[in-house]
Structure 1
Amino acid sequence: MTINDIQDELIDDFSFFEDWMAKYEYIIQLGKELPLIDDVYKRNEYLIKGCQSQVWLQADLVDGKVVFTADSDAVITKGLVSLMVKVLSNHSPDEIVEADLYFIDNIGLKEHLSPTRANGLVSMVKQMKMYALAMKTKV
């Protein structure tokens, strides 16, 4: 499945919800399903700068694909990072670096997040792309 296939699937999933309360509940549910990050990664060097909540992000290169794990101390933020992990994990560094993450606008996330959460989402994307860029040299 390509990054765009996953984004299209998420856009379809979000289209089923009538209002933003239901969409937020879905985002929170996705956060609850996020595989737990190992506690060794819950340190300052794995924190995403620019997020109001604490968000830890870790990446490994497995068989030429970047595999992300993440966690947050806030339920909505954990859901947001789980969305990003779902979209970008298990793809090549090139695919991640070049990805156009159109689903964020398409499902209306930017206009329904507080400015601090929206900035945090941008920081998550930036950090994930930076990990992928760093891993391009290891492929």
Structure 2
Amino acid sequence: MNLTMDRIMQNFEALDDWEERYRYIIELGRKLDPLDDAFKTDENRVQGCVSSVWLVTDVKDGDPPIIEFKADSDAQIVKGLVAILLALYSGKTAKEILTADIRSIFEKIELAKHLSPNRANGIASMVKRIHELALATAA
């Protein structure tokens, strides 16, 4: 999937209600490139998510290095939320990842108001893991 955060935000704003937005989130998850089963290990599993979510990095040489993320989930809506996070964070430097303002983006598309507490905690766990991986790359 090669969708930018700007495009996702535009698409969200064009949808009239939350039923349509949830369908869009599920569609994003379906378009997400599948993660090879070899990467679906406990080591790559994001802790703190009710659904299973696996996250791996591919660091591209550069000065500074570019971090590509690949991820998958066993739950449709969560997989769509993963796709949104990858659109925001993947293909960036560690500094860009650590300074990206996910809260303001989620507030702008009103996603934060429409997530269950479990999903909100899961997103926080995914963002925390993304930040940990970015910090490890920057070290």
TM-score by length of 2: 0.90
In structure 2, what is the equivalent of residue 136 of structure 1?
138
* 1:54–1:72 contact (8 Å) kept in structure 2: yes
Unpaired runs of 5+ residues, structure 2, are: none
Measured in 1, the distance between the counterparts of 2:91 and 2:130 equals: 12
* 2:5–2:87 contact (8 Å) kept in structure 1: no
In structure 2, what is the equivalent of residue 68 of structure 1?
69
Task: Give the aligned residue type for 1:82.
Answer: A
Task: Give the aligned residue type for 1:124.
Answer: M
Counting only pairs closer than 5 Å after superposition, residues 107-118 of structure 1 correspond to structure 2 as 107-118=109-120
Shift of 1:129: 1.1
Counting only pairs closer than 5 Å after superposition, residues 1-12 of structure 1 correspond to structure 2 as 6-12=4-10
Aligned residues: 132
In structure 1, what is the equivalent of residue 101 of structure 2?
100
Shift of 1:8: 3.6
In structure 1, what is the equivalent of residue 49 of structure 2?
51
* 2:55–2:72 contact (8 Å) kept in structure 1: yes
* 1:10–1:103 contact (8 Å) kept in structure 2: no
The list of structure 1 runs, each at least 4 consecutive aligned residues, that deviate by more than 3 angstroms after superposition, is: 6-9
TM-score by length of 1: 0.90
In structure 2, what is the equivalent of residue 119 of structure 1?
121
Report percent identity of matched pairs: 42
Measured in 2, the distance between the counterparts of 1:100 and 1:79 equals: 19
Q: Report the 3-state secondary structure (helix = DSSP H, G, I; strand = E; otherwise coil) of the residue aligned with 2:21.
A: helix
Measured in 2, the distance between the counterparts of 1:95 and 1:117 equals: 24
